[in-house]
Chains A and B, each alone.
Chain A
Amino acid sequence: SAVISQKPSRDICQRGTSLTIQCQVDSQVTMMFWYRQQPGQSLTLIATANQGSEATYESGFVIDKFPISRPNLTFSTLTVSNMSPEDSSIYLCSVAWTGGGEQFFGPGTRLTVL
C-alpha cells in the first residue's frame, strides 16, 4: 500500500469559480485515477491520469470541465472548472501499481458549491 494525501480536504466554493485538487503519493505508482461521489450516488470514475500525456476520460466527463495533470509518478491534480452546485461531491484519487491490480484511495476532498 501507500500513503496518499489530498489537498484540500474540503472546500466551499462559489458558482463559476474553479478549484484544483492535489493528490500526492509517498512512492512511485503506475496508475492514478480520479473518482467522484455525488450525494446519494456511487463512486464514479472521472478519468485515468497518465504521466506525460493527456488523461483518459470516461464517458460523460470532458477535459475542459475536469483538466488533469500528472507531471510525475507520485503527483496528480484535478481541476473542477466553472463550478456549479451539481459539482458538489467528494472527489477521490486512487493509485495502483499494475493495470489490473488493487487500487488504494486517498482521503477525499469534500467540495460544496454554492
Chain B
Amino acid sequence: ILNVEQSPQSLHVQEGDSTNFTCSFPSSNFYALHWYRWETAKSPEALFVMTLNGDEKKKGRISATLNTKEGYSYLYIKGSQPEDSATYLCAPRIQGAQKLVFGQGTRLTINP
C-alpha cells in the first residue's frame, strides 16, 4: 500500500500572497505523479502529470516540481486569488500499475 502524505492539511492565505505545499510518496518503483485541484461541487481538475526527476511544470500562476529520488513534489501558487480556493490532491503511480493512490489533500482557502 502506497503511503502518500500531503502537508499541510489545510492552509489559509491572504489574497495576493504566494504559497506552497508538499506531497511525499515512496520513491521506489515510481512512474508518475499527478496533481489535481478539486473545488467544491465540481470535478477534480487535472493540473499536472510529472514523470522525470527534476521536472518542473507551470500552468498560469501554479507550478510544481518533482524529486523522484527522495519522493516529494511541491506545488506553488504565486499571487493567490480567491478562485484558487480548493483542495489540492496529489496521486503517485507506480510502475506497472494503472491506479492512482491519492493523498488526503491540502485544503487551501484564500482570504480576500
- Closest residue of chain A to B1 (Cβ to Cβ) is A59
- Closest residue of chain A to B93 (Cβ to Cβ) is A100
Nearest-neighbour CB distance to chain B for A49, whole angstroms, equals 12
Do residues A48 and B44 form an inter-chain contact, with CB atoms below 8 A?
A: no
Q: Which of A1, A43, A102, A106 lies in contact with B102, CB distance below 8 A? A: A43
Q: Which A residues touch B93, using CB under 8 A? A: 100
Q: Is the interface of A mostly helix, strand, loop or mixed?
A: loop
A41 contacts B by Cβ under 8 Å? yes
Do residues B43 and A4 form an inter-chain contact, with CB atoms below 8 A?
A: yes
Q: Which A residues touch B41, using CB under 8 A? A: 107
- Closest residue of chain B to A107 (Cβ to Cβ) is B43
Please count how many residues in chain A sit with their CB below 8 Å of the partner chain's CB atoms: 23
Residues of B within 8 A of A (CB): 4, 31-32, 34, 36, 41-44, 46, 49, 89, 91, 93, 98-105
A91 contacts B by Cβ under 8 Å? no
Q: Which of A31, A41, A104 lies in contact with B98, CB distance below 8 A? A: A31
Nearest-neighbour CB distance to chain A for B31, whole angstroms, equals 7
Do residues A45 and B100 form an inter-chain contact, with CB atoms below 8 A?
A: yes
A42 contacts B by Cβ under 8 Å? yes
Do residues A92 and B100 form an inter-chain contact, with CB atoms below 8 A?
A: no
Nearest-neighbour CB distance to chain B for A76, whole angstroms, equals 15
- What 7 A-B pairs are tightest by C-beta distance, nearest first? A43-B102, A105-B44, A42-B104, A42-B102, A105-B43, A107-B43, A99-B98
Do residues B34 and A102 form an inter-chain contact, with CB atoms below 8 A?
A: yes
Q: Mark A58-87, 1 if CB is under 8 A from B, else 0.
A: 100000000000000000000000000000
A42 to B107, CA, bound (A): 12
A33 to B44, CA, bound (A): 14
Do residues A102 and B46 form an inter-chain contact, with CB atoms below 8 A?
A: yes
Q: Which B residues touch A41, using CB under 8 A? A: 104
Do residues A44 and B102 form an inter-chain contact, with CB atoms below 8 A?
A: yes
Q: Which B residues touch A106, using CB under 8 A? A: 43
A94 to B9, CA, bound (A): 24
A51 contacts B by Cβ under 8 Å? no
A102 to B45, CA, bound (A): 11
